[in-house]
C-alpha cells in the first residue's frame, strides 16, 4: 500500500515538473503561432502552424529578411519580413528595393514578380512617406513588409516597428506536414 502511494506521488511530481517546464519553455523560449491572413504569401500561407523563437533577439538584433512576429495591437500579433534596419534609408521604385540608394535583390519575391505582367508588385514608396516621416530608420526600430505586398498591413501603414514590440523570429513551419521546413530568411 505504501509503495502504491509513493509511486502515485512520484507520478504527480513528474507531471508537475513537466508542466512547469512546458510553461517556462512556452513563455520564455519558444511559442507556436498560426498564420492568419494572406500577407506573407507565397512564403507562408493562411493557416500555417509555426514555432517562434522568442529568445533570438535577446542575444542579437534582427537581420534583413528575418521573418518576425510583433505586437501590432494589444490583441493582435502580425508576421512580416524585416526589410530595413537602423541607420538605413529604404525606398522602392519601379518594383526595385533600394537600401541607402543601393539595389537589393529580394529572392523570395522573384517568382511572384515574374507572374505579373501589367502592374507593379510593390507600389513605389520611400521612408519619408511612411508614418513618422523619418529620413533614416532610428536605432531600435525595423521596417517590415509582407511578402504579398498588395495585401499587407505593414510598415507602410503602421510605421516602423520598435524592437520591444518584437515577439520573436519564425523558425519552423510544422503544419501542414507537406510544408514542414525551417523558415529561411
Query: What local confidence, expressed as pLDDT, does residue 20 receive?
Result: 65
Q: How far is CA 63 from CA 85, 93, 96, 109, 129, in A?
A: 7, 22, 19, 18, 23
**Distance between CA 70 and CA 78 in Å, rounded?**
6
pLDDT of residue 158 exceeding 70, the answer is yes
**Does the annotation count 119 as an active-site position?**
no
C-alpha cell at 126: 520611400
Extract the C-alpha cell encoding 141. 526600430
Least confident among 10-14, 110-114, 138-142:
10-14
pLDDT of residue 28: 56
Predicted pLDDT of residue 174:
86
In DSSP terms, 102 is beta-bridged to: 99
Domains, the chain, ranges and CATH?
32-182 (2.10.109.10)
* Residue 39 CB-density burial (10 A; 0-12 exposed, 13-18 middle, 19+ buried): buried
Catalytic residue among 39, 56, 152, 155: 39
Mean pLDDT of 59-83: 91
pLDDT in tens, 15-60: 777 666 666 555 556 688 888 888 888 888 899 999 898 888 888 8
Mean pLDDT of the chain: 85
- Nearest alpha-carbon partner for 158 in 144, 172, 179: 144
The rounded distance, in Å, linking the Cα atoms of 7 and 54 is 37
Q: Is the pLDDT of residue 66 over 90?
A: yes
Specify the pLDDT at position 2. 64
For 121-135, how does the pLDDT look when each residue is reduced to its tens digit (9 = 90+)? 788 889 998 888 889
% residues pLDDT > 70 (the chain):
89
Alpha helices in the chain, H assignment, sequence order: 2-28, 56-59, 110-115, 155-158
Give the three-state DSSP class for 1.
coil
pLDDT tens, residue by residue, 97-130: 999 999 998 888 887 777 776 677 788 889 998 8
Kindly state the cell numbers that stand for 169: 523570429
Told to judge if 184 belongs to the known catalytic residues of this protein, a careful annotator would answer: no
pLDDT over 90 percentage in the chain: 35
Amino acid at each position: 500500500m505504501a509503495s502504491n502511494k509513493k509511486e502515485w506521488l512520484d507520478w504527480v511530481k513528474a507531471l508537475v515538473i513537466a508542466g512547469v517546464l512546458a510553461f517556462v519553455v512556452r513563455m520564455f523560449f519558444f511559442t507556436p503561432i498560426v498564420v492568419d491572413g494572406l500577407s506573407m504569401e507565397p512564403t507562408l500561407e493562411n493557416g500555417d502552424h509555426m514555432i517562434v523563437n522568442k529568445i533570438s533577439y535577446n542575444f542579437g538584433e534582427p537581420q534583413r529578411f528575418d521573418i518576425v512576429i510583433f505586437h501590432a495591437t494589444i490583441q493582435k500579433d502580425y508576421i512580416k519580413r524585416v526589410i530595413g534596419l537602423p541607420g538605413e534609408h529604404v525606398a522602392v521604385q519601379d518594383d526595385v528595393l533600394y537600401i541607402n540608394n543601393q539595389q537589393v535583390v529580394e529572392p523570395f519575391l522573384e517568382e511572384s514578380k515574374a507572374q505579373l505582367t501589367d502592374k507593379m508588385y510593390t507600389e513605389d514608396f520611400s521612408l519619408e512617406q511612411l508614418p513618422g516621416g523619418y529620413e533614416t530608420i532610428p536605432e531600435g526600430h525595423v521596417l517590415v513588409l509582407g511578402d504579398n505586398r498588395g495585401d499587407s498591413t505593414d510598415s507602410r501603414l503602421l510605421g516602423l516597428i520598435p524592437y520591444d514590440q518584437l515577439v520573436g523570429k519564425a523558425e519552423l513551419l510544422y503544419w501542414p506536414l507537406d510544408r514542414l521546413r525551417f523558415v529561411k530568411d
